[in-house]
A = this chain, B = another copy of it.
Amino acid sequence: MRITGLEAIPVAVPDPPLRNSWGVHAPYFLRTILRLRTDEGLVGLSETYGPDIVTPLMVDRARQVVVGDEPTNVQRFAYRLRSPILAGAVEVACLDLIGRATNRRVCDILGGPVRERVAFSAYLFFKYAGDDIWGEVGSPEQMVALAGKFVDRFGFTTLKVKGGVLPPAAEVETMRLLRQRFGPDCALRLDPNAVWSVETSLKVAYELERSGVWLEYLEDPTEGIAGMARVRERITMPLATNMCVTTWEEIAPAVDARAVDVILSDHHGWGGLRACQELGRICATFHLGIGMHSNSHLGISMAAMTHLASVVPAMVVASDTHYPWLTEDVLSGDGVRFDGGALAVPPGPGLGVDLDEDRVAKYHEAFQRGVVRQRDDTAELVKRDPGWLPIKPRW
């Protein structure tokens, strides 16, 4: 089986005005749908970052590397692509192809699942009111109300708050109210995206611990391996990161500095599903936890993330996902349905998902109209607040 074509379809998909420490999401998020075709007439799917990151030049390089070769040669592709992002995008599409060709699920190509249901976390944002059903979330009380909707609708038992938006005391109060509302069995996380100083991070951890608000982990309170290590040596609750350890090169220094407890993987950035399996083994070997980070994404990534979490034994905490914020998926059929905050591994073959061509065309057209050209959360917030600067640390 040889790859005969690689097609990259940029799409722009409606997104609510979700806030973070850099600014706010634009009305559309960008993704790239990757489609490989083979001489046997099979199609393999993948999804990755938007064309602002996976540029046309990169797509050309990917095409030159993979067309004419076999989809089993993913390691060779990775070296020739010289980009973990491209390598990951190509690998997932190759695994989808191999699965379709051999009538196996992607998880069964990767050693077989250790769990058939994968738990996900509610990913809760402070947000502006917008063209969405969720309304404004600008206070601790509104965040608790939003969490209630997510729990009711999707069954999540893990709640992650994207922090770094309100002053730290208000975010501590948010976590306190969430603990009060959802009880001791609900796993809570707070992620201010490194907008706090070390000193503020210590104070927040102290206030949370003193209030009896144990977090499953505090994610990236402050910037850098050295900063995280300074926080970690003086607090009790675990520290997670998807910011100071995002490459292989950062792992050894982070372990050496004892900077983190949990590494949040992301197959889009780390080089694919196999790479994240290897990351899982590294975390287990060094007694670190492993979770899964998410950007705004569609159902292809949702399927890939579910297959991945099913095969990484160490991935025992709920994975992040932006999926519930999506108003319409590009998949054919009803798309993905959460049950008790979890997803079953799609039955396959391959990733187990197919595209709705009309929807793909619609969102590709939105991209072509230029509704958003690159992700720039800061520029988006400057439209609302001309003086805004994403200073770090802000507090």
Q: Residues on A close to B: CB < 8 A?
A: 70, 72-76, 79, 101-102, 104, 108-109, 111-114, 248, 251-252, 255, 274-275, 277-279, 281-282, 284-287, 311, 313
Contact = CB atoms under 8 A, between A and B. Distances in A.
Contact of A114 (B75, B108, B112): B75
Contact of A252 (B76, B101, B287): B287
A255 to B, nearest CB: 7
A140 to B, nearest CB: 40
Given A248-B281, A248-B284, A252-B255, 10 more contacts: A70-B112, A73-B108, A76-B112, A79-B114, A252-B286, A255-B255, A255-B286, A275-B281, A278-B278, A278-B282
A108 B111 CA distance: 14
Contacts of A113: 75-76
15 contacts: A72-B104, A72-B108, A74-B111, A75-B111, A75-B114, A76-B114, A79-B114, A111-B274, A251-B286, A252-B286, A252-B287, A275-B281, A278-B281, A278-B282, A282-B285
Contacts of A282: 278, 281-282, 285
A74 to B, nearest CB: 5
Q: Which 10 A-B pairs have the closest CB atoms?
A: A278-B281, A73-B112, A72-B108, A75-B111, A75-B112, A102-B102, A252-B286, A248-B285, A72-B112, A251-B285
Contacts of A102: 101-102
A310 to B, nearest CB: 10
A282 B285 CA distance: 9
A241 B75 CA distance: 27
A95 to B, nearest CB: 10
Contacts of A278: 277-278, 281-282
Contacts of A101: 102
A297 to B, nearest CB: 24
Nearest to A71: B112
A70 B279 CA distance: 26
A278 B275 CA distance: 9
B252 A75 contact: no
Contact of A311 (B75, B248, B313): B75
Contacts of A79: 114, 313
B109 A72 contact: yes
A280 to B, nearest CB: 8
A247 to B, nearest CB: 10
A252 B108 CA distance: 30
A313 B281 CA distance: 17
Contacts of A109: 72, 109
A112 B248 CA distance: 21
